[in-house]
Amino acid sequence: MSAPVEADVTGRRVLGVLAALPQELGDLVEAMRAESGVRTVTLGRRDYHVGTVHGTPCVVTLARVGKVAAAATVSALIHAFEVEAVVFTGVAGGVGRDVRIGDIVVADALMQHDLDASPLFPRFEVPLLGVTRFVADQSLSAQLADACACFVAEEGVTLAARFATAMPRVHRGLVISGDQFVASAAAVEALREALPDALAVEMEGAAIAQVCYEYGVPCAIVRTVSDTADAHAPTSFATFLTDIAGTYSNGILSRFLQARV
């Protein structure tokens, strides 16, 4: 295999870290700038920021919204940067009945809730790949869940008071992705009926997990619940994204990256 494009002095390959929107990344690029400086590579209308943050060599970027954007971005991370693994952070709509706004979901598995090539292939199955649920990397996801638990233990009470939410909880399970912002009681109920174990809905995770599966790259996905995918979702999402999402990302990613050093 040819030498990795991005590696630190010890030959350690970089970790790919991405989110859909800038607010979901928190201060990660600024923290990288302060710690190591940043080299920015522009590819396919995206900026890839290379450097070290919280002690870990990373390439940090924004996927933008939706499954195509996510797949294109993670493909570039794999091919142009030869990332050793991929971590995605962002917000999601809560689907599980006990998943509340402010809770955190670490994906064990991901699937596309809007993929339906039936009757040619079973509903939800990726045609010709024969996979419906993509399993997140167990070790990476466990590290991410540990970082979330630590963040909640250390900052949960302050967060709940500051943002007037319940004490955050960390869930692990199925995250579902589709090219729709889900924003009605009927739509979220239909998702619950079709996929009773789904915890959260978003628009990128399963695409990232599929590309990582196809190239054998470990991936993990963490989502903070910004809304409950009902009629209140647009306002709840907008407020959460502006006021809160960055605090969660900073708190989770700093602990996760420091623990990898």
Residue (74 or 183) nearer to ligand ADE, CB:
183
Chain residue at closest Cβ approach to ligand ADE: 93
**Can you give 111-172 as a three-state secondary structure string?**
EECCCCCCCCCCCCCECCCCECCEECCHHHHHHHHHHHHHHHHHHHHHHHHHHCCCCCCEEE
Q: CB of residue 14 vs ligand ADE: minimum separation in angstroms?
A: 27
- In order of 95, 98, 131, 224, 227, the CA distances from 101 in angstroms are 11, 10, 30, 8, 6
Residue (181 or 215) nearer to ligand ADE, CB:
181
Pick out residues in 163-222 that bind ligand ADE (CB under 6 A): 181-183, 201-203
Residue (78 or 91) nearer to ligand ADE, CB:
91
Residue (125 or 202) nearer to ligand ADE, CB:
202
Q: How many residues bind ligand ADE (CB under 6 A)?
A: 14
Cα–Cα distance for residue pair 173/198, rounded to 1 Å? 7
- Evaluate whether 207 touches 73 at the Cβ level (below 8 Å): no
Residue (102 or 218) nearer to ligand ADE, CB:
102
Q: CB of residue 94 vs ligand ADE: minimum separation in angstroms?
A: 8
- Evaluate whether 211 touches 72 at the Cβ level (below 8 Å): no
Closest to 74 in 3D by CA, of 168, 212, 241, 175: 212
Structure tokens at 185: 């009681």
Q: CB of residue 101 vs ligand ADE: minimum separation in angstroms?
A: 10
Q: CB of residue 92 vs ligand ADE: minimum separation in angstroms?
A: 5
Q: CB of residue 152 vs ligand ADE: minimum separation in angstroms?
A: 20
Contacts of 69 (CB under 8 A, 6+ apart): 20, 63, 204
Q: CB of residue 2 vs ligand ADE: minimum separation in angstroms?
A: 37
Q: CB of residue 90 vs ligand ADE: minimum separation in angstroms?
A: 7
Residue (118 or 180) nearer to ligand ADE, CB:
180
91 makes contact with ligand ADE (CB under 6 A): yes
Cα–Cα distance for residue pair 211/217, rounded to 1 Å? 8
Cα–Cα distance for residue pair 22/116, rounded to 1 Å? 31
- Contact with ligand ADE (CB under 6 A): which of 26, 51, 66, 93? 93
Q: Where are the beta strands (DSSP E) in 22-126?
A: 39-43, 46-53, 56-62, 85-94, 104-112
Contact flags string 211-250 toward ligand ADE, x per CB under 6 A: ---------------xx-x---x---x-------------
Residues that bind ligand ADE (CB under 6 A): 91-93, 181-183, 201-203, 226-227, 229, 233, 237
